[in-house]
Amino acid sequence: MDRELRLLFKKHTGKEATDISELSSSGSNRRYFRLKNEAVSLIGVIGTSADENRAFCEMAKHFKAQRINVPEVYLRSDDWLFYIQQDLGNTILFDLIQKGRLTRAFSQDEKRILRKTIQMLPLIQFKGAEGLNFDICFPQPEFNNRSILWDLNYFKYCFLKSTGIDFQENRLEDDFTAMSKILLRDESNTFMYRDFQSRNVMIKDDEPYFIDFQGGRKGPFYYDLASFLWQAKANFTNDLREQLINDYVESLKQFTNISEKDFRNQLRHFVLFRSLQVLGAYGFRGYFEKKPHFIQSVPFAIDNLRNLLIDGYDEYPYLCQILHELTMLKQFSDDINKHSLEVSVYSFAYKKGIPNDASGNGGGYVFDCRAINNPGKYEHFNHFNGLDEPVIEFLEDDGEIITFLENVYKIVDSSVKCYIDRQFTHLMVGFGCTGGQHRSVYAAQHLAEHLNKKFGVKIKLIHREQNIEQIFDAKHK
């Protein structure tokens, strides 16, 4: 089949291709080849759909004229099934940020190129739409109620049903209809990339170039931002995602006036919709077509969904009920529990030594409570510990321990947030006092309750000298 590509190469360059090698195409049905001779290197594409190829070639030509970074298409076959385009090299943004994706500790260079990419997105959405004939888009020219329901049913039939969850189809369809109305409430004449993600951005000479936009159409700009920032394997931290949203909004203001509050409210609906659409694609490509890349991405997409449901969507009560049930299925909850943070909190007496870290990480924070006014000086408190009301009243009366804990919360909260973002699995915090009975017990108990309530993480609380242990289970909201 590469004969046609060789002919196009020769027609464009005037010389034979001396080397041809097939490139990885991930989940695409198109096949990509690098054709080279001593002077030039080009990318050849073999597609199965003439209409899809026509959409890409025509849009690429239009975007190039708008000075948007896309590969230039040089020649195509008469039947539109073969074409050759500019070779942008081998650097895919997804691979360039690999270290950050794996560790969730993105370097300054990784953040810089991500910010540069997201700042360019409004350009293709707005300038790309100017003068574009949307009739060339494939399989349809615009994002509408029909396409929304296609994608939601894609999720329902290709993913949800495969899990075995029992649901009432009519109630689910009611929420699908409600979602469609919300997604379409803002009229838009912009170009919707549809599959804007780090796998579809190439970096050449430190500049982002957009590829694989053949599924684009007229539609709202929220979709692409949701697609990029909540890409299943991108693994962005919340702080980085927030920074990229801010960068996008600032760039967006060059093209349109927006209310940031309304923007963020509408964006969250597109994030949920895109998450469901992606799960539908993973279900079809992974479970039915048996492509491992998509199966491996499912746990990441489920984790995204789980985080979205923390704040919930009152607009879709039954859908959220089913999605909660979905995220708690054993095959998904077991996987995420392997990467969930557990915090061990100890109270102890210094004279008996600092507790060992059973996780093997070598220990963590140790806070000294001995500067706090000590109930142990008074015989009245000998038979009580820091969990008992008389001791609690004594410690809180002068406020010393409250101020102490406020400072502890700031320090430990920062670490817990970072540990969750980087998917670390264990943190240890210890509180020591003279006897491990009053001040340290009070402090450890309050920190455990605070972390469980604020972050929903599992807490293992051990009051060592009191021989008391308590487990606070993780809260999957």
pLDDT in tens, 152-161: 999 999 999 9
Instruction: Report the pLDDT averaged over residues 33-61.
Output: 96
Q: What is the pTM of this model?
A: 0.75
The Cα 262–Cα 260 span in angstroms is 6
pLDDT in tens, 111-151: 999 999 999 999 999 999 999 999 999 999 999 999 999 99
| Structure confidence at residue 265 as a pLDDT band (50, 70, 90) | very high
Task: Give the up-direction half-sphere exposure of residue 341: CA atoms within 13 A in the CB hemisphere.
Answer: 20
What the chain holds in terms of domains, given with CATH numbers, is: 3-86 (3.30.200.20), 93-337 (3.90.1200.10), 342-472 (no CATH)
The pLDDT score that the predictor gives to residue 188 is 86
Query: Which residue did the predictor score with more confidence, 82 or 419?
Result: 82
The pLDDT score that the predictor gives to residue 152 is 97
When mean pLDDT is compared across 1-10, 190-199, 294-303, the lowest value belongs to: 294-303
**pLDDT of residue 30 exceeding 50:** yes
The pLDDT score that the predictor gives to residue 334 is 60
User: What is the chain's alpha carbon radius of gyration, rounded to the nearest angstrom?
Assistant: 28
pLDDT in tens, 224-235: 999 999 998 898
pLDDT in tens, 161-179: 989 999 999 999 999 999 9
Instruction: Report the pLDDT averaged over residues 443-453.
Output: 96
The pLDDT score that the predictor gives to residue 477 is 44
What percent of the chain has a predicted confidence (pLDDT) above 70? 96
**pLDDT of residue 39 exceeding 80:** yes
Residue 425 vs residues 304, 409, 418, 461: alpha-carbon distances, Å: 18, 19, 11, 16
pLDDT in tens, 65-102: 999 999 999 999 999 999 999 999 999 999 999 999 88
